[in-house]
Amino acid sequence: MRASFDDTPAQVASMLTAWEALGGSLEDLTLDAFAALEQRSDLTVLRVPEFVPADSQLGCSVAGGYRWEPPTLVVTESMSWRRQQFTLLHELGHHIQMTNIDLGTKVVEHRKPEAFEDACCDAFAAQLLLPDDLVNLHISDRGPTVNTALELFESSNASRAAICVRLANRLQSPGAVVVVNEDGTVTFAAGRGGLYSPARGSNQSENPIVRAALDARGESRTFMRNDAQIWYRDGHTSERLYGQAAWAGDLLFLVMVEYSAPWLAISPPRDGTVQYANDRWDQCEHCNKSFLIGFICRECGQPRCPSKHCGCTSKVEKTCLECFLLKRSNQFATGADTCLDCAS
C-alpha cells in the first residue's frame, strides 16, 4: 500500500530548489534524465539488466536502487524506457534527500521516515516528467478522470507510474490511481487521503470494475462502476468506490474515489460497505504484510505487526547499500553504510 502525506508537496518543492542549487537543470531532467545525469561528475548512473530484488531497499516502489558511496543511481533495463526515466528520477530523489541536511532532517524527523522519503521520490519524479502546465491542460477543476490519464500518456514521455502519482495528488477526495496488467495484478498504485491504495503485486480481479475491463480486454472505451472495491491481500476490502477504467496499451488505468467523482453529477460518500468494517488494518513497511492492529507501541505510537515491527524498527535495522539486505544495526561498523559481511 502506497502511503501519501500532506507534507510531500513542500518537500518536493525544496528538492527541486536543492537540485538547481547544485547546478542542475530541471528542464534537462524533463527532456531526458539519462542524458542530463550521465554527464555529471558527482553522480554515477548504473544500468543493470535484471530487476533489483524487491527487498533491496526499504519501501522503494520502483525497480532501481541508490548507493551512497560512491553516489550511484541504479536502474534496471528490463523496464520500458518511460519507466526507466521515472526510476532514475526517483533514485535521484533519494540522493538529493540523503545529501541535503535540511531535507534529510525532515525525513528523519517524520513519523514514518522511510515511507515519507519514498513518497517524496515518487512525487519528485512525477513532477519533473509531468510539469504543472502540462497537467493543467488535461485536468478540470473537479479533478482527474481516467481520460486525463490516457491524454497525459499520449501527450508526454511520462510513465504510467508517474501519471498515477501526479493524478493521485490532484484527487478531490480520498482515492487511488492504479495500473493493473492483463491478469488484474497491480503494477503501480498511488493514493490520496485516508484510502489505502492496493499493494503492488496484489490481484484486483475481484474488483467489479477490473473484472468488467478484463472481460472486455482490448476494447477502446471507458468502463464505469459505482461499486468498485479495492481488495487487500488479507481478504478485506475498501468501502464501495466510484471508479473509471480504460486500457492504455496492455495495461489498465483505474481511477477510484470515495466521493465527488468528477465524471458524475452526484456521487455522495457511502459508509459501512467495507468487509470487516469494525476491524482496523495496517501494512508493515518492513515485511510488507497487512495485519489486524492489535497492539500500539508505547515508544513510537505506531501499530506493531505480528513480526514485532513498528516505527522503532528503523532505529535498529538498516539496509546495506552493497548487498541491499535489511540487517540489524550491530551488523554494521559505526557510521558505515555497508554491512560487516560486505566490508570483509
Is the C-alpha dihedral spanning 18, 60, 44, 109 positive or negative? positive
Q: 81 pLDDT exceeds 50?
A: yes
Question: Is residue 166 domain-resident?
Answer: yes
pLDDT value at position 307? Answer: 80
> Domain check: are 32 and 123 in the same one?
yes
Q: 15 pLDDT exceeds 80?
A: yes
Of the listed ranges 28-32, 84-88, 293-297, 309-313, the least confidently predicted one is 293-297
Question: Is residue 321 domain-resident?
Answer: yes
Question: Is residue 132 domain-resident?
Answer: no
Say what angle helices 160-168 and 146-155 make with each other, to 10 degrees: 130
Average pLDDT on 301-317 reads 71
> Domain check: are 149 and 106 in the same one?
no
Average pLDDT on 264-277 reads 70
Residues whose CB falls within 8 Å of the CB of residue 39, separated by 6 or more in sequence, listed in order = none
Average pLDDT on 118-146 reads 92
79 or 293, greater pLDDT:
79
Q: 278 pLDDT exceeds 60?
A: no
> Domain check: are 89 and 152 in the same one?
no
Question: Is residue 4 domain-resident?
Answer: no
Question: Is residue 5 domain-resident?
Answer: no
Question: How far apart are the C-alpha atoms of 159 and 161, rounded to whole Å?
Answer: 5
Question: Is residue 277 domain-resident?
Answer: no
pTM above 0.85, yes or no: no
The CATH number covering residue 153 comes to: 3.30.450.130
> Domain check: are 105 and 194 in the same one?
no
Tally Cβ neighbours within 10 Å of residue 269: 13
Q: Is 85 exposed, middle or buried (0-12, 13-18, 19+ CB in 10 A)?
A: buried
> Domain check: are 168 and 252 in the same one?
yes
Residue 260 phi, psi (nearest 5): 55, 45
Query: What is the domain range of residue 92?
Result: 14-127
Per the structure, the count of domains in the chain is: 3
> Domain check: are 306 and 226 in the same one?
no
